[in-house]
A and B are shown apart, each in its own frame.
Chain A
Amino acid sequence: MTGLTPRNFIIAALLVILIVLPVYAGIAGKPFLITLFTRIIILAMAAVSLNLIMGYGGMVSFGHAIYIGIGGYVVGILAQEGFLSGFLQWPAALLVSGLFAAAIGALCLRTRGVYFIMITLAFAQLLYYVAVGLDRYGGDDGMTMYTRSEFVRPLNMSDKTQFYYVSLILLFGVMALIWKLINSRFGMVIQGSRSNDLRMQAIGFPTYRYRLVCFVIAGMICGLAGALLANHTEFVSPAMMHWTRSGDLIVMVVLGGMGSVVGPLIGAVALLVLEEALSGITEYWQIILGPMLLLVVLFARGGIDGLLAKVRL
């Protein structure tokens, strides 16, 4: 894995591009690139968190986007009620999404396989309708956030470049955390439980508790992504947690490559840049994207990262 393999080269190039992108956008006079890539970084964070449970834990959640919605709504509701400090909003987003993940996970993790896929989807629908029913906070239409989260002086979330770097640093932090986590004893138990849960239990690990903690951590990280997304779009609506968004997150993870920490980041960049490019070609871009997903499933197991790892010089 060390040395300058094509895979490492491309990952390094991607990271460098992400770091220097605002500089390039400033010089080239393309400020929309910062907006696009801030969105990519935020959704990549959500995908990275989904990969923790899906790629390493084998828990295919089809409702992961609700934590984006929960994080977003916590920030949006607090802003609406006059609590503008980010030091309050962001930890609250983490806490509330963690609590929801604990409740949902405790129920869903009793099931396995295809039941797990569908029950997470159903809980996501349930919370989606809760959001639609929040009349005070815009209901179906959603609500506009008039001010972004406020932090101490030099840090200004309304500055696009600053917000970009805050998101990027948080993404790198999250990826480092997950890297640490999966290589720890905890991560070994999670991966062991994916391969053979019964055997892990026989060795003496209470795998249900381990998997639940893992589910909660993933939910909290995704909640943070939601808090960022609310700040980015300055708008919160039930569409943030629509079930197709959960589908998009799964696509990012599988497209990039499950079971590697950078895979979902590659997937998020690939999917969203592809969407942007295809929608420039034709209005009916999903007619191209749909079959492409099917082809990825059929012929590119391991995703882009898996393909890159196979390339040898």
Chain B
Amino acid sequence: MLLFLEQCLNGLQLGLLLFLLSAGLTLIFGIMDLVNLAHGSFYMIGAYFAATFTALTGDFILGAALAIAATVLVGMALEVIAIRRLYGRDHLDHVLGTFGLILFFNELVRLVWGPAGMNVPLPAWLNTHFTILPGVEYPTYRIAIILVTLLVALFMYVLVMRTRVGMLIRAGASNREMVGALGVNINLLYTLVFGLGTGLAGLAGLMQAPILTVQIGMGENILILAFVVIIIGGIGSIRGAFIAAILVGLVDTIGRGFLPDILSLLLPSRSASAISPALSSMLIYLMMAIVLVLRPQGLFPVSNK
């Protein structure tokens, strides 16, 4: 039971991280109609920046703040130089162009930081355990991740639903030409949205950096998970992304944690231990297939397109 609680928290944490990535993806898709495969690259870049800046400043929080700022700058620069020219093109062009960008960023990171992975040490005050229930301890850093992502989700909600910029974002998502015709500087809005998306991806990357090794290609596997999230949630819907992200996080983590035990009840233990790792990796893709068969537009389809 205690293990189950811990796995649920791990799943929640993975889900919230996925939300940071998929919120950016789904915003960029919903507003600019752009399929951005290079989104995972910003997750990686955020983590590398965090490794460098924490080493330079000696302070994790300061390093993280600098890393987010740097990632947003790289993202906005990329939007102005290259991404801007892809708007209004075929989705296939987006896939191909941003696939080229993945190759570019992976190689650039190898050139700048070298092929070896990096580690980000946690400050002592985060590297402790926190007693959530009597007898149940949970790493403080993971709780911090959950709190920060929840705050960011709240910030996103307020930004999109309660501010003028958010109103323009929503208006841009439902009718781009009309927003432009009403005199809004649509180019600037797009650059800001792209910067926001990359900032969220960078934040997700740098928060994972102390838990995992920072390495080249780290953004690609999680990017595919983020795609699964936005397909399940309905492309373009932030609310859908939030719910689907938590669903995917929980199913993936709990599946990995408990599928071997469940299978060993049903099957001879040798075959259970042989198939359960593969099966638990497949679980979320199976979930996506089922959702798409039942609701081809995802759980929360955006109807105004």
Q: Chain A residues in contact with chain B, CB under 8 A?
A: 54, 60, 62, 107, 110-111, 113-115, 117-119, 121-123, 125-126, 129-130, 132-135, 243-244, 247, 250-251, 254, 284-287, 289-294, 296-298
A250-B99, A287-B111 are contacts. A119–B293 as well, Cβ < 8 Å? no
Q: Chain B residues in contact with chain A, CB under 8 A?
A: 29, 35, 82, 85-86, 89, 91-93, 95-97, 99-108, 110-111, 220, 224, 227-228, 230-231, 235, 274-275, 277-279, 281-282, 285-286, 288-289, 292-293, 296-298
- Give 10 nearest A-B pairs by CB, closest first: A133-B278, A293-B100, A290-B104, A290-B103, A129-B281, A126-B285, A287-B107, A286-B107, A297-B97, A290-B100
A125-B285, A130-B278, A293-B103 are contacts. A117–B91 as well, Cβ < 8 Å? yes
Check if B104 sits within 8 Å of A114, measured CB to CB.
Answer: no
Check if A298 sits within 8 Å of B235, measured CB to CB.
Answer: no
Sample of 8 further A-B pairs with CB below 8 A, known A60-B95, A107-B289, A251-B99: A107-B292, A115-B231, A126-B286, A130-B282, A133-B278, A250-B95, A251-B100, A287-B104
Check if B35 sits within 8 Å of A286, measured CB to CB.
Answer: no
Check if A123 sits within 8 Å of B289, measured CB to CB.
Answer: yes
**Set of chain B residues within 8 Å of A126, measured between Cβ atoms:** 282, 285-286, 289
Check if A115 sits within 8 Å of B296, measured CB to CB.
Answer: yes
A114-B29, A119-B231, A286-B103 are contacts. A293–B97 as well, Cβ < 8 Å? yes
Q: In the bound complex, how far is the Cα of B100 from the Cα of A298, in angstroms?
A: 12
Q: In the bound complex, how far is the Cα of B298 from the Cα of A294, in angstroms?
A: 30
Check if B104 sits within 8 Å of A115, measured CB to CB.
Answer: no
Minimal beta-carbon separation of A174 from chain B (angstroms) = 22
Check if A123 sits within 8 Å of B285, measured CB to CB.
Answer: yes
Check if A113 sits within 8 Å of B97, measured CB to CB.
Answer: no
**Set of chain A residues within 8 Å of B228, measured between Cβ atoms:** 118, 122
Minimal beta-carbon separation of B305 from chain A (angstroms) = 11
Q: In the bound complex, how far is the Cα of B227 from the Cα of A115, in angstroms?
A: 10
- Residue in contact with A119 in the complex, picked from B101, B274, B288, CB distance below 8 Å: B288
Q: In the bound complex, how far is the Cα of B104 from the Cα of A284, in angstroms?
A: 9
Chain A's closest residue to B105 (CB) is A290
Q: In the bound complex, how far is the Cα of B273 from the Cα of A135, in angstroms?
A: 11
- Provide a sorted-by-A list of 19 A–B residue pairs whose CB atoms are within 8 angstroms: A107-B292, A107-B293, A110-B292, A117-B35, A118-B228, A121-B224, A125-B285, A129-B281, A132-B278, A135-B274, A247-B95, A250-B92, A254-B92, A287-B108, A289-B100, A293-B100, A294-B100, A297-B93, A298-B97
Chain A's closest residue to B34 (CB) is A114
Check if A111 sits within 8 Å of B292, measured CB to CB.
Answer: yes
Check if A60 sits within 8 Å of B97, measured CB to CB.
Answer: no
A250-B95, A291-B100, A297-B96 are contacts. A284–B107 as well, Cβ < 8 Å? yes
Check if B85 sits within 8 Å of A298, measured CB to CB.
Answer: yes
Check if A294 sits within 8 Å of B101, measured CB to CB.
Answer: yes
**Set of chain A residues within 8 Å of B235, measured between Cβ atoms:** 114-115
Minimal beta-carbon separation of A252 from chain B (angstroms) = 11
